[in-house]
Structures are given as structure tokens and as C-alpha cells.
Amino acid sequence: MSLRSKSSHRDTNASLSTLAALCFTTVAPPALLYALAEQIKPIVYNLAEEVLVSEGVDYVHSTQKDYLEDSQPILESDLSLPQRCFSEDFLKDIRVARVDTLPLPDSPYVEVARAVYPEEILQEPAALCIGDMIFIKRSVESPELAAVHELVHTWQIRTLGEENFVRLYLYWGFENGYKDIPLEKMAYRITSYARRALTQQDTLPVEKICEREMQKIMQDQDLVLWPLTEE
Ligand SMILES: [Zn+2]
């Protein structure tokens, strides 16, 4: 892959912003938006490595720093389900922040994704995972289940590494839409198992389930070829 100058990064961010604005202001039928997405896929793929992945990782680090004081160790929080789903060793470095507004990344990519895939959940997420820090909106109906969902993402990030997680998430998000990102489908499946554990006051070996689920995802060569093997 060739290296690009900083100015081409700026140009691409500008193009993505323009595209996002266009998507929002055009009363376009969904088919047209999908066609538009097809057109800009190559741009996104080419720049994912150099711009979006590093921006994503920067966003993770700066947000963790910003919320250090407004978060607390999850083991000292009032959330009890995570402790029945994850080992103490897994949870010991994780912090949780209860917020009114989620600190979503300020990226034109997010705007484009929202415009192209207007699923409700992407417009108004209830919780957010930033590595070892999770955010849960105060208004969320079940903070216990939201926490388990986000902690599955923490497991994915620790297992894949920050860069690979961001890379795969962006790639699949753009290719399939939010709901069909394999990492999200995995998190939603496990959240549904946790719902049973919540109502029955039961435990759930989520880390073991995550290992099994991740192996299934990685076995599907088609899904990982582009993001993981490109040089
Ligand atoms: Zn999720």
C-alpha cells in the first residue's frame, strides 16, 4: 500500500463530510444511498488503514483520558451482572461511566454511516465501548445488559488488538451495515444469553463463549481476507 501525504488525508475527510451532508440533505430513496455507498467504498477501503484506523485508535485513547475522573472501576459500581458473566481478572482494569450523552467519535465516517444506514440503533446508541472503558447512558432501560454487551466488545478489542478491531469494525460496518457487523451480532447474541442469566440470577461463562464465537468468525476466510492480510 502506498503512503499518502497529509493533504490527501484532509481532502478525503473533506470528501466524506461533503458526502455525508449530501446524504442528509437529499431526499434520496435508500437504493440510491446504497448505490452511493458502493461508489465510495474504494475510497474508504484505501484510506481505512492510513486515516480511519489511526483516527479511531486516537479517539479511543483521548476519550479514555478525558473520562478518567468521571468514570469508576466496574468492580466498584452498582452493576452486578458483569460479575456473574466475567472473571474478576477480566474486570479488574475496566472502568464504567454513566453519562447523559455518549462521547461518539466526531468523524465524517460516522456521518456517512448514519446517512447510508439509518437504523435506529446507530442514530441513538444506548452505550459505548472504548477498550477498557465503557459508557452507559443514564436513560438506558437495562444498564446491566448494556454493560455485558459493551464488555463483549472489550473482550473483542483485547483479543484482536485495538487496530484490528477498528479496522474490522469499520470494514464490516461499511460493507454490511451496523446490524450485520459480525462483532455486533456476536455481542447481541451473548447479550440475549445474559438476559436469561439476569432473570434467573444465574452465572454465564461469557469469556468462554466469546472464544468459541470469535473462532467461528475467524474461520470464515472471506470475512477477514481484506482487513487482516493487506500489507
Ligand atoms: Zn455493540
Average pLDDT over residues 111-119: 67
How far apart CA 45 and CA 158 sit, in angstroms, is 24
Pairing status of strand 95-99 against strand 133-137: parallel
Cα 131 to averaged position of ligand 1 atoms, centre (Å): 12
Give pLDDT, residue 14: 60
How far apart CA 169 and CA 187 sit, in angstroms, is 13
End-to-end CA distance of the chain: 6
In sequence order, what are the residues at sequence separation of 6 or more whose Cβ sits closer than 8 angstroms to the Cβ of residue 213? Answer: 186, 189, 190
- Residues listed for the chain: 231
Cα 148 to averaged position of ligand 1 atoms, centre (Å): 10
pLDDT at 231 over 50: no
Cα 184 to averaged position of ligand 1 atoms, centre (Å): 5
pLDDT, tens digit, 9 for 90 and up, residues 40-55? 666 666 666 666 777 7
In sequence order, what are the residues at sequence separation of 6 or more whose Cβ sits closer than 8 angstroms to the Cβ of residue 37? Answer: 112, 116, 174
Cα 150 to averaged position of ligand 1 atoms, centre (Å): 6
Give pLDDT, residue 7: 45
pLDDT at 153 over 90: yes
pLDDT at 214 over 70: yes
